[in-house]
A and B are shown apart, each in its own frame.
Chain A
Amino acid sequence: MTDQTGATTSDYNFAYLDEQTKRMIRRALLKAVAIPGYQVPFASREMPMPYGWGTGGVQVSAACLTPDDTFKVIDQGADDTTNAVSIRKFFEKTADVETTEHTQDATIIQTRHRIPEAPLTEDQILVYQVPIPEPLRFLEPRETETRKMHALEEYGLMHVKLYEDIARHGHIATSYAYPVKVEGRYVMDPSPIPKFDNPKLEMAAIQLFGAGREQRIYAIPPYTQVVSLDFEDHPFDPSKADAPCDLCGADHTYLDEVIIDDAGGRMFVCSDTDYCAGRQAQGHRGRLSPEAAE
């Protein structure tokens, strides 16, 4: 909305947060970029949505958005789920930014638990919503201890956990939030993305991670070395469902399994809805495409 002089009139400050809060978040973001993988504490604010709905990512996005940006939000790869729709509407209302569902048109992409299939460029920023930022938290509940472990680069416990996976299951059974080591120093939780996405963490875009409830911000600058932890005899394996997408036929994307009847019938579809729709528009078809089913 604009008034007679052409100035924007909104009941909210641009991008919702007050300026002092944004400065505090911006300082944390710059330190996070300077120390890749290290969790910078920040004074997370109450947001008009519950913890667990992306308050950390929303605050990071709010501190980064300019009026010239085009904003995209995905939830498990999908643009059209509740969480993604409400965050997109939140910034349409409070920051008056353009929004899009197309990965390549977006300048800032906020994501919950996925990295888009299409490669991101240098002109883009990927903002992750993070529930538990501390990769060692389920191994050591005390913050004082995990902080010391990061300071001393004492990550033996994490390897023990992966080893116990192998002892129990015969392979590393961790399939999401798979721990990585950033630039040879900090072990980091890539947020609960599937391990299929881990190789994509080395990318051209800036990656920012926000954990609202846990009050932590961390980052991976472009072209930063990100190594998934593994063992020589059990190398990291970015696995996915062994099937092509039933709508677009892609055999190189991360798939969701969908139950389609009461008899155990199921289908696999791309979790990245924009990528799948783009392939279908190009004429790719899968097993259950409307034409194929006829």
Chain B
Amino acid sequence: MLDDALNGGFENPPVQSSHAFRAALSALARPGRVERIMGAEAPGLSEAAATLLLTLCDAETPIYLAPGHDSEALGQWIAFHIGAPLVGPSHAMFALGAWDALMPLTGYPVGTPEYPDRATTLIVEVEALTPPTARLTGPGVETVARMRLPETDPFRANRALFPLGHDFFFTAGEQIAGLPRTTIVEDL
């Protein structure tokens, strides 16, 4: 926790962000795998979520802060360290918050058939990334992977939109897991 908007950034941005990106890349390329990601601190955020924001976001990436994470302190921290505009869900490139607060998923862009990459990436703050509750198959998974998810139905609906859809990062403490739109999610 941190209440000063000027603190909490990387001490050595090029090196720390490179390690953080590799953790995020590995997490998204291998659904179900939990990676460690750290180096940044922001008011009311896990270290993983703060580090991910600092690694991926800048003035070109509108961010939506869901209720519960839309504090003034976090807004000031983002303004100082990232400079990203804070917007509503329909214009967000990144959305950040707890699962229930981020709902409904229909409020976020899913991309267009010509540009499916223009879809929101959701960063979901969770209490823990274990124990697993869902069974994953698809790209990045050799046979079957397991992962803790808040629900499974929304991810099935998301998969049905492919190649459109949302991509997710789940963050807790120093840990991060990824779930791209391609993953087939089933109840465990």
B162 to chain A: which residues have CB within 8 Å?
A: 185
Interface size class of A (residues with CB under 8 A): 35 or more
Report yes or no: B139 in contact with A204, Cβ–Cβ below 8 A: no
Report yes or no: B29 in contact with A221, Cβ–Cβ below 8 A: yes
Contact among A33, A66, A122, A224 with B18 in the assembled complex (CB-CB below 8 Å):
A66
Measured CB to CB, the nearest residue on chain B to A22 is: B17
**In the bound complex, CA of A23 to CA of B115 (Å):** 19
Report yes or no: B142 in contact with A38, Cβ–Cβ below 8 A: no
B61 to chain A: which residues have CB within 8 Å?
A: 27
Query: Assuming the A-B contacts A223-B139, A223-B142, are A38 and B163 also in contact, with contact meaning beta carbons closer than 8 angstroms in the complex?
Result: yes
B56 to chain A: which residues have CB within 8 Å?
A: 23, 26-27, 30
CB within 8 Å of A: which residues of B? 13-15, 17-19, 21-22, 24-26, 28-30, 55-58, 60-61, 112-117, 119, 121, 138-142, 162-163, 167, 180-182
**In the bound complex, CA of A206 to CA of B28 (Å):** 11
B13 to chain A: which residues have CB within 8 Å?
A: 19
- Chain A nearest CB, measured from B156 CB (Å): 17
Query: Assuming the A-B contacts A206-B29, A222-B30, are A23 and B58 also in contact, with contact meaning beta carbons closer than 8 angstroms in the complex?
Result: yes
- Chain B nearest CB, measured from A145 CB (Å): 11
Measured CB to CB, the nearest residue on chain B to A30 is: B28
- Interchain residue pairs with CB less than 8 A apart (26): A14-B18, A15-B14, A15-B18, A19-B13, A23-B56, A26-B25, A28-B117, A30-B24, A31-B167, A33-B140, A34-B181, A35-B181, A38-B117, A41-B115, A64-B18, A64-B25, A67-B15, A148-B114, A151-B113, A185-B163, A186-B163, A204-B142, A206-B26, A219-B29, A221-B180, A223-B142
Measured CB to CB, the nearest residue on chain A to B143 is: A223
**In the bound complex, CA of A65 to CA of B25 (Å):** 12
A32 to chain B: which residues have CB within 8 Å?
A: 117
**In the bound complex, CA of A256 to CA of B55 (Å):** 43
B60 to chain A: which residues have CB within 8 Å?
A: 24
